[in-house]
Amino acid sequence: MAQKNTARKPKSDKESGSKTKLPKLPSEYIVRPHDDGKGMKNVANIYVSPQLLEITEWTIGSFIKVLEGLNGITCILSTWSEVDDDKYDLNVVLVSPYYLSLAGILLGDRVELVNLSAQPDYAVEVEVDYISSIDEQQARKTVQDIGLIYEGLTTEKIHISDIHQGIDKEMKRLSLGKAESATLRPFLYHPRSTKLVFTKKDEISLPRSKYTFQDIGGLDKEISLLKKNIYLPLNCPEVFEEFGIQPPRGILLYGASGTGKSLLLRTVAYESPKCHIIRINGPSIVSKYLGGTEERLRDYFKEAVKYAPSMILIDEIDSLVPTRNSDDSTEVDSRVIATMLTLLDSLDGPVLVIGATNRIGSVDVSLRRPGRFDQELEIPIPDANDRYDILLKQFGKMKDRSTLKEDEIRNIANKTHGYVGADLLSLTREAITKCISREIGEDLQDHDLHNVKVTYNDLQMAMQEVRPSAMREIVLEMPKVRWSDIGGQEVLKRKLREMVQLPLTASETFERLGISAPKGLLLYGPPGCSKTMTAKALASESGLNFLAIKGPEIFNKYVGESEKKIREIFRKARMSAPSIIFIDEIDALATSRDSADSTNVSQQVLNTLLNEIDGVEELKGVIIIGATNRPDSIDPALLRPGRLDRHVYVSPPDSIARRQIFEKNTEQFELDDKEGLLERLVELTEGFSGSECVLLCQEAGLNAIMEDNKCEKVAEGNFMAALKDISKNITEEMLEYYRLFAKKYASY
């Protein structure tokens, strides 16, 4: 547990004998780099203002812990010279770049200082790698000069690879030694009692950054654009001045939640080690006091200009500068936006502002113009290749802890439609959990977890638990219906598979020939002939995300709410594409505008539906499936080419289909002479719908139970009794009605 700040209260004027009032002790400190060119002697030092020692009564040479979030590193207290007092403020501390790199602390980070009462332990043995351009004596002197050392500390000359404190090396590897080094535990070097073991190396590389661009999968194009837009304004601002124009001031990252915007912001900070970083989380700087938010913004921008080159990174920027046209906009929002506009326009020098949001439309439009946020970079939902790259890098980190091959990872990538980067990370985490449960069950005690490996089957199991983020907002279970659950209808199944799977498997050919994939189809036919069940089977077998529109839930008594629900469903479908939108009983939602049943609300809903399917914004990767038993009630505009242009008749089951239905629904009936009975049932149910055939089996089973509640089989008499109680609903007039509709719209 971190110790509390032990800084003493400043002495009163009476106690100190001085009339000078000391300033208030800062609550946090800004980190800046220190490099006085005096070699390694000052690497372990932290430099503060001499005035801070007067306030706290700390002493030079004491041990100070620098805390930044969960990171922390111990340094030796020192002060900068008085000539630097005008250069740095009281709330600034200077730390060597080597120590900052080791702790993962950035220039500009806000840290807390804690005075430590106890000194670190002395190291017994230190293993040191040193670069071949120096000799062993120089390497020894470097370690002596640093004095306060860490495992993993790297300079341009040496790398401290291991530190022992009187513990056997083999025992250390088996104990928590590595875990201790991960918490950056410091040791003192003693010239007489510490043994140094040296190894010559051709190259010494600095510690690997916590976040790097090469670890981010699926965003190569976006990272390349981001690097280009960052490098020139920060490193070559004079080039723009030579052309008489200002360099770019801002970049706005936008996209769906979970695509990697915040990750890019963090990575940009860690990939810019010589840049002063100011990180702002939109809501965190909002003050309850009048003018407090604007004052904090001004302070941040002043700091950025003072320590340029610098970057201001603002996550969730929409919460800080929401559009002023919104009904929820307040006077405070207007003042904050006006302050932000003024600060952006007055920026001078190599300073860049990068914002991130998943609600680009909620950011005030005045910020989204050249001279302010010049570049808007969309972070898209990953496609199959991007998902493969993300998963490949994620499992690459596991090394020998995974048995997955590249073709298996590719297969998973092709199946995870609509998954964003955060979803794929969650999928990997769930697969690891499944793997552990499979190997050792629920009891984690007395088990060796080091030999557990993630398999392809673990990932497949995890996919059943983890759904795309866009789909989680919709409380809808993925249909668990297979083609085998539907009796017969082989032609229908083939047509549906071709329509849905062909655009996915032959997407390059579609693009090369300039052909658009079909957008929608209408399933029509008598009631009970598996139209709804067919759509569910299509979703299950294709692996696409499945959204359903329920007519009664769409209509709302408030003006505009019904249309809003339609737009929201289509928005989610686009985000989780490729996907299927299924509209059951579509005739209730898209009633013909010429019919007597049409109302103003139904017309507005229909217009919204038409615009979403074939409007200005193109519908990519989304298939619309409508089902109805009254196709002539649907507005003709919805049935024209480019919308629901494929009309598929779902006919009553033929003899083969009825046979398959009876076989599936009587699997556990223990029938006598099963083959003969099924043949007779197929003959007696000519013209029955699929649902009526299923009902016949259910009623026969119910009759058997009513005769004997402990029965073990269903008899032929039970079927005959049930057959007398079931009336056939499909008539010849009904079938003629569907034939006329097919002729009218030239069904394929």
pLDDT value of position 338 = 92
Examine residue 509 and state whether it is found in any structural domain, yes or no. Answer: yes
Examine residue 362 and state whether it is found in any structural domain, yes or no. Answer: yes
pLDDT in tens, 521-537: 888 888 878 777 777 77
pLDDT in tens, 251-275: 999 988 888 999 999 999 998 888 9
AA identity, residue 293 = T
8 A C-beta contact, residue 635 and residue 592: yes
* Range of weakest confidence among 341-350, 366-375, 682-691: 682-691
Examine residue 501 and state whether it is found in any structural domain, yes or no. Answer: yes
* Residue 582, pLDDT above cutoff 50: yes
pLDDT value of position 448 = 60
Of the residues 86, 115, 144, which one is the last residue of a structural domain?
A: 115
Residues contacting residue 177 through CB under 8 Å, at least 6 positions apart = 167
pLDDT value of position 112 = 93
Phi, psi of 638 (to 5 degrees): -80, -20
Examine residue 22 and state whether it is found in any structural domain, yes or no. Answer: no
Indicate whether 643 and 661 sit together in one domain.
Answer: no
* Residue 179, pLDDT above cutoff 50: no
What percentage of the chain exceeds 70 in pLDDT?
A: 89
8 A C-beta contact, residue 526 and residue 652: yes
pLDDT in tens, 205-219: 777 778 889 889 889
Indicate whether 294 and 336 sit together in one domain.
Answer: yes
Cα separation values, 238 from 245, 302, 747, Å: 10, 21, 67
pLDDT in tens, 490-522: 777 777 777 776 776 677 787 788 777 777 888
Report helix, strand or coil for 123. Answer: coil
Indicate whether 267 and 373 sit together in one domain.
Answer: yes
Indicate whether 261 and 325 sit together in one domain.
Answer: yes
* Residue 6, pLDDT above cutoff 70: no
Examine residue 207 and state whether it is found in any structural domain, yes or no. Answer: no
Q: How far apart are CA 27 and CA 443, in angstroms?
A: 45
Residues contacting residue 292 through CB under 8 Å, at least 6 positions apart = none
* Residue 739, pLDDT above cutoff 90: no
Indicate whether 490 and 600 sit together in one domain.
Answer: yes
Q: Which CATH number covers residue 409?
A: 1.10.8.60
CA angle, 671 as apex, 666 and 673 as ends, to 5°? 125
Mean pLDDT of 271-282: 88
Of the residues 649, 684, 713, which one is the last residue of a structural domain?
A: 649
Number of domains in the chain: 6
Short-list 313, 316, 317, 318, CA closest to 279:
313
pLDDT value of position 207 = 72
Q: How far apart are CA 661 and CA 655, in angstroms?
A: 10
Indicate whether 493 and 576 sit together in one domain.
Answer: yes
Mean pLDDT of 184-189: 89
How big is the chain, counted in residues? 748
Q: How far apart are CA 619 and CA 644, in angstroms?
A: 13
- Say what angle helices 690-707 and 655-665 make with each other, to 10 degrees: 40
- Enclosing domain of residue 263: 213-379
8 A C-beta contact, residue 277 and residue 109: yes
Kindly report the three-state secondary structure assignment for every residue of 682-705. Answer: HHHCCCCCHHHHHHHHHHHHHHHH
pLDDT grade for 389, boundaries at 50, 70 and 90:
very high
Examine residue 746 and state whether it is found in any structural domain, yes or no. Answer: no
Indicate whether 620 and 678 sit together in one domain.
Answer: no
* Residue 398, pLDDT above cutoff 60: yes
* Residue 608, pLDDT above cutoff 70: yes
8 A C-beta contact, residue 42 and residue 34: yes
pLDDT in tens, 552-571: 677 766 677 778 888 888 88
* Residue 93, pLDDT above cutoff 90: yes
pLDDT value of position 1 = 33
8 A C-beta contact, residue 622 and residue 470: no
Helix (H), strand (E) at residue 46:
strand 45-48
Joined tokens for residue 247: 């360099």
Indicate whether 466 and 488 sit together in one domain.
Answer: no
Alpha-carbon dihedral angle through residues 128, 132, 138, 143, given to the nearest 10 degrees: -20
* Residue 78, pLDDT above cutoff 90: yes
Q: How far apart are CA 306 and CA 302, in angstroms?
A: 6
Indicate whether 240 and 294 sit together in one domain.
Answer: yes
Q: How far apart are CA 172 and CA 9, in angstroms?
A: 43
Mean pLDDT of 579-600: 77
Q: How far apart are CA 662 and CA 713, in angstroms?
A: 15
**With b meaning 16 or more CB within 10 Å and e meaning fewer, what string describes 78-101?**
bbbeeeeeeebebbbbbbbbbbbb
Q: How far apart are CA 524 and CA 21, in angstroms?
A: 87
DSSP 208: P
Indicate whether 337 and 246 sit together in one domain.
Answer: yes
Joined tokens for residue 490: 């082989």
Q: pTM for the whole thing?
A: 0.74
* Residue 314, pLDDT above cutoff 80: yes
Q: Which CATH number covers residue 623?
A: 3.40.50.300
* Residue 673, pLDDT above cutoff 60: yes
Examine residue 685 and state whether it is found in any structural domain, yes or no. Answer: yes
Helix (H), strand (E) at residue 56:
helix 50-56
pLDDT grade for 576, boundaries at 50, 70 and 90:
confident
Of the residues 335, 358, 379, which one is the last residue of a structural domain?
A: 379
8 A C-beta contact, residue 220 and residue 379: no
pLDDT grade for 538, boundaries at 50, 70 and 90:
confident
Residues contacting residue 612 through CB under 8 Å, at least 6 positions apart = 566, 567, 570, 619
Indicate whether 566 and 711 sit together in one domain.
Answer: no
Q: Tokens 């499979």 — which residue?
A: 438
Examine residue 81 and state whether it is found in any structural domain, yes or no. Answer: yes
Q: Which CATH number covers residue 59?
A: 2.40.40.20
Indicate whether 600 and 667 sit together in one domain.
Answer: no
* Residue 656, pLDDT above cutoff 90: no
